[in-house]
Amino acid sequence: MQLIKRKEGEEQPFWPLGPFQIRLPFIHYRWEAAEMLQGTIMFVVGLAMIPLLEKNLGIPYEAALAFTFIAGLLYTLPALLGVPLVPGWITPAIPVVLVYLNGFEPGPEAIQALFVLQLEVALIFFILGITRLGSKLVEIIPNSLKSGIIIGAGIAALMGELKVGGRIDGTPISLILGAIISAYLLFSLSFKNLTLTHPIARKIASFGMVPGMIMAMLIGWAVAEYPLPDIQWGITQPNFSLMSEFLVFNIGLPNWETYLIAIPTAIIAYVIAFGDIVIGFTLVKRIDHLRPDEKIDMNVDRVHLVTAIRNFIHSLIAPWPGLAGPLWTAAHATVAERYALGRKSMDSIYSGGGTFWVTGLIALFILPLVSLFKPVLPIALSLTLILTAYICIMVGMEQLKTSVERGVAGIVAVTLAMPDPKSTIFAVIIGLVLYFIIERPQLLKKPEVAETKHVPETESA
């Protein structure tokens, strides 16, 4: 229960604070049991960043664990400040970020480079948010380019798992079966029909990604693709003192050349994150009409400002290889699906996302949970990437209305998914060129506001 309840058809109650809307659990929104269970399991995905911190930045485990606590705290900001999206990393950008970091020696040099990158990402989000150019981008960017970026990000995330040397080589059974089970429970039409008539199926569906994730972990242990856990008892003790030794305040600021080198990667990260924003609000719009009891404020500029704050704090006290993204696609999709079931299932879109990450933050302190999931962190990350890929492709395809748009989006997607750190910039350029020379009915004039009538295509002989 919450102290302040929403009236039918209005926004969820909040305290206004400038461009933000403050919402606190138990005061402005109720605690959701299903999201609490999901957060208790899904927090392990955040821990999966620890191996990257160790390998690419040269940070020891105890300090890297402290970094995850900072990330866990910042995951709670969007629901707190009025963003109806479940936040996460800029996941499809991770391969590009790692290519960028590979140009620096692990240790102080790589930490400085990541500090610069995340600071520049924060600056991009802040400028576009404070000037309200972020919301205008949603309107002015061609539909084919937006969809192509979304689809291409999904393909890139999927290929990272399926490529030679990817995780599928080392753990094929748990990864393939886990992905199939998760996809069936989340997206299958036959399973959705089961939820209409079988209470057990409906209960399983209410837990989102958790059943598939647990099954994948159990399979991984059963077939010995992952070692059994060494469960420890007590409270997790991250070493914040050691963490401070790996921050720019102690290792020194980078030179100006590093700032210049980071700019292309920062732009790439923003373009991908912009696609995440489009996906997030598209998922909300898909189910919004099913919930007339709540008015959702889908403010793109607020998303930009909150994401800027998260990246800025990360850059200073916990540089994060995954960066701070506006959307955890797979988790947000499961929250949105349960939200669509009605107010009894989830009171508010904010109560779902808020409960999820507050629980995730609390779970980081529970040592038995952290030690239990430590051996299977890779499968949690892999399933997140695979489900993200499916959702990206699904949502991107939904937005394409004509064969011309589909053709341009396909070229953009394939270009973006190429294993080259510059592929995103090339994809944007190619998408804009193709839009102007192929899609526009008049090359040098502004397109009419009214939609053009569909012209049947002739079949080639």
pLDDT in tens, 350-378: 999 999 999 999 999 999 988 888 888 77
What is the largest distance, in Å, between two alpha-carbon atoms of the chain?
73
> Angle at which helices 403-416 and 423-434 pack, to 10 degrees?
160
Looking at residue 420, what is its pLDDT? 67
Domain-embedded: residue 45 = yes
Q: For the segment 139-166, what is each residue's pLDDT rounded down to a tens digit?
A: 777 888 888 877 887 888 788 777 777 6
Report, as an integer, the average pLDDT of 313-325. Answer: 93
Domain-embedded: residue 206 = no
Looking at residue 458, what is its pLDDT? 38
3-class DSSP state for residue 15? Answer: strand
Q: For the segment 2-26, what is each residue's pLDDT rounded down to a tens digit?
A: 788 888 888 899 999 999 999 999 9
- Alpha-carbon distance of 121 to 308, in angstroms, equals 7
Report, as an integer, the average pLDDT of 395-405. Answer: 86
Domain-embedded: residue 188 = no
Looking at residue 388, what is its pLDDT? 76
- Name, of 30-39, 158-167, 329-338, the range with top average pLDDT: 30-39
Looking at residue 449, what is its pLDDT? 44
* Whether the predicted pLDDT of 379 surpasses 70: yes
Domain-embedded: residue 33 = yes
Domain-embedded: residue 179 = no
- State how many domains the chain has: 1
Q: For the segment 198-209, what is each residue's pLDDT rounded down to a tens digit?
A: 888 877 776 767
Report, as an integer, the average pLDDT of 82-106. Answer: 84
* Whether the predicted pLDDT of 422 surpasses 70: no
* Whether the predicted pLDDT of 310 surpasses 90: yes
* Whether the predicted pLDDT of 444 surpasses 70: no
Report, as an integer, the average pLDDT of 244-263. Answer: 88
Yes or no: say if 111 and 60 are a contact pair by the CB < 8 Å rule: no
Looking at residue 112, what is its pLDDT? 93
Yes or no: say if 354 and 80 are a contact pair by the CB < 8 Å rule: yes
Domain-embedded: residue 47 = yes
The better pLDDT of the pair 202, 177 is held by 177
- Alpha-carbon distance of 277 to 392, in angstroms, equals 11
The better pLDDT of the pair 206, 69 is held by 69
In which band, very low, low, confident or very high, does the pLDDT at 445 lie, cut at 50, 70 and 90?
low
Report, as an integer, the average pLDDT of 295-311. Answer: 93
Report, as an integer, the average pLDDT of 105-124. Answer: 93
pTM (2 decimals)? 0.79
Neighbours of 450 (CB within 10 A): 6
In which band, very low, low, confident or very high, does the pLDDT at 457 lie, cut at 50, 70 and 90?
very low
In which band, very low, low, confident or very high, does the pLDDT at 91 lie, cut at 50, 70 and 90?
confident
Looking at residue 446, what is its pLDDT? 59
Q: Average per-residue pLDDT in the chain?
A: 84
Looking at residue 447, what is its pLDDT? 57
| Domain span including residue 248 | 15-171+226-439
Looking at residue 197, what is its pLDDT? 84
Domain-embedded: residue 181 = no
3-class DSSP state for residue 136? Answer: helix
Burial class (CB in 10 A: 0-12, 13-18, 19+), 85: buried
Report, as an integer, the average pLDDT of 411-426. Answer: 77
Domain-embedded: residue 194 = no
Report, as an integer, the average pLDDT of 56-79. Answer: 92
Looking at residue 443, what is its pLDDT? 61
Report, as an integer, the average pLDDT of 306-324. Answer: 94
The better pLDDT of the pair 384, 116 is held by 116
